[in-house]
């Protein structure tokens, strides 16, 4: 079976990703609140947030190599098990060291799920469908990021912050298991490659030298670091500014809702601006908005800024996936996606640690200025990225696709 055609598998993948990401998005602020209740300061919160990405940092490329020459689907249930266990065990941990460990397990589970899922989308989508399908796939992440913080905010609060945050982590672990219900017949047999007959492995250096891969990695790293710091540090900002956890949950979900809205209109935006210009403009605007969070603005203004920021950040992840996939050498696309995720995890290790250091020295709002600078750098990188074969031009056409593409789009939209 060739890529394209029926996309029921994509809908099931979006649903499963929504539950898995919802559990993680509920657990991340809950971990921060539980750490604060157990006596952590801003530096300790940054370290615990960084450990979430530490284990995945070493596992991403081996998992990508395996997926290039094997099946993608087995990584999905394995990832759900690790996410669920990491959330639940973080809830019963009674020390900061234990919380950091189980946070790392949760991050490893998220990595397994994402590598398997992104490789499925790349493998089972025709080139001209990849921007659209990656955009729809990431809606699952945004749905999880919308619901998770609201659920966490509803459960966490009152005098017993340690107890309520532990309850939120246990609920997140239970919620992750619901993803199992959508993981049936997710991978087409014809797209699962055997380990034989695949040829030599493409060296990592060659993948990284492919024009467009470094830009895609940097954009993804910047966007994810911004999302990660928002999730981990907005509760700390709220504590210092007297904003209730329930309001922080709503603000984080507002950001996620704007990201969903962005991805629903991604195809028209691509037709209007093209991939390169759209990435550059949204990263530059996100840099300004992210730095603006450092200002002592009222809650309503903070909500408007987060909504606009969420819309801008919604562009980076799906388009960086397509940029990396289409720039990577044939037979190394899963490895290229894994390298992109390695960059993400490097950002998730370094950004919270740096944020904790900056926050401890200059105040809790300063990390957002640091993120603004990183996003501005990624905007310059996106501007220099080449136009890929599947890019949608400003005129609204994809080269060498024609009428058949339009027929497939009309018949297979979700």
Residues 352-375: pLDDT tens digits?
Answer: 667 667 766 666 667 788 888 888
34-84 per-position pLDDT tens digit? 888 888 877 788 788 778 877 777 777 787 877 776 677 788 999 999 999
Give residue 188's pLDDT: 67
* Residue 414 to residue 8: CA distance in whole angstroms: 8
Mean pLDDT, rounded, of the chain: 79
The tokens for 119 are 């490789």
Residue 21 C-alpha from the chain's centroid: 9
**Mean pLDDT in residue range 380-395:** 55
- The stretch 24-30 carries a mean pLDDT of 89
27/154 Cα distance (integer angstroms): 13
Q: What's the predicted TM-score (pTM) here? A: 0.71
Using only C-alpha atoms, what is the Rg of the chain?
20
DSSP 57-72: HHHHHHHHHHHHTS-S
Instruction: Name the band, by pLDDT with cuts 50, 70 and 90, for residue 333.
Output: confident
pLDDT given at position 177: 93
At residue 314 the predicted structure's pLDDT band, cuts being 50, 70 and 90, is: confident
Assign 394 a pLDDT band (cuts: 50, 70, 90).
very low
Mind listing the pLDDT tens digit for each residue in 131-165?
778 888 888 887 887 788 888 888 887 778 888 98
Say what the pLDDT of residue 409 is.
33
Q: Which residues of 206-218 are buried (b: 16+ CB within 10 A; e: fewer)?
A: ebeebebbbbbbb
- Region 93-111: mean pLDDT is 89
Confidence of residue 402 (pLDDT cuts 50, 70, 90): very low
Answer whether 147's CB lies under 8 Å from 21's CB.
Answer: no
Please check the confidence at residue 174 and state whether its pLDDT lies above 90: yes
pLDDT(390) > 80: no
Averaged pLDDT for residues 21-33: 89
Least confident segment among 78-87, 227-236, 348-357, 392-401:
392-401
In this predicted structure, the answer to whether residue 384 has a pLDDT above a threshold of 70 is no
pLDDT band at 401 (very low <50, low <70, confident <90, very high): very low
> Does 258 have pLDDT greater than 80?
yes
């Amino acid at each position: 079976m060739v890529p394209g055609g029926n996309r029921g598998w994509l809908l099931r993948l979006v649903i499963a990703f929504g539950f898995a990401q919802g559990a993680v998005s509920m657990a991340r602020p809950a971990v921060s609140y539980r750490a604060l209740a157990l006596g952590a300061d801003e530096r300790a919160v940054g370290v615990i947030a960084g450990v979430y990405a530490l284990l995945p940092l070493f596992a991403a490329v081996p998992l990508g190599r395996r997926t290039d020459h094997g099946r993608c689907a087995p990584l999905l249930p394995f990832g759900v098990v690790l996410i669920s266990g990491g959330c639940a065990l973080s809830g019963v941990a009674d020390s900061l060291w234990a919380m950091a460990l189980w946070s790392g397990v949760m991050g490893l589970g998220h990595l397994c799920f994402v590598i398997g899922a992104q490789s499925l989308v790349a493998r089972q989508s025709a080139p001209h469908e990849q921007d659209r399908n990656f955009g729809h796939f990431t809606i699952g992440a945004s749905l999880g990021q919308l619901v998770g913080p609201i659920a966490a905010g509803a459960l966490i609060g009152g005098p017993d912050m340690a107890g309520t945050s532990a309850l939120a982590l246990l609920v997140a672990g239970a919620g992750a298991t619901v993803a199992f219900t959508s993981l049936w017949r997710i991978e087409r047999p014809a797209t699962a490659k055997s380990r034989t007959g695949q040829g030599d492995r493409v060296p990592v250096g060659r993948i990284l030298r492919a024009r467009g891969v470094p830009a895609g990695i940097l954009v993804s790293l910047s966007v994810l670091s911004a999302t990660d710091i928002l999730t981990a540090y907005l509760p700390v900002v709220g504590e210092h500014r007297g904003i209730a956890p329930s309001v922080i949950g709503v603000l984080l979900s507002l950001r996620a809702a704007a990201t969903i809205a962005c991805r629903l209109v991604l195809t028209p935006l691509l037709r209007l601006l093209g991939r390169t210009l759209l990435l550059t403009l949204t990263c530059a605007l996100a840099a300004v908005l992210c730095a603006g969070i450092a200002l002592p603005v009222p809650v309503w203004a903070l909500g408007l800024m987060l909504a606009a920021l969420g819309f801008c950040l919604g562009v980076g992840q799906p388009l960086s996936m397509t940029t990396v996939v289409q720039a990577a050498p044939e037979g190394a696309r899963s490895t290229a996606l894994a390298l992109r995720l390695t960059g993400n995890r490097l950002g998730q290790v370094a950004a919270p640690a740096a944020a904790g250091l900056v926050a401890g020295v200059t105040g809790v709002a300063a990390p957002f200025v640091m993120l603004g600078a990183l996003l501005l750098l990624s905007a310059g990188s996106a501007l220099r990225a080449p136009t890929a074969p599947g890019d949608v031009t400003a005129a609204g056409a994809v080269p060498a696709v024609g009428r058949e593409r339009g027929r497939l789009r009309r018949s297979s939209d979700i």
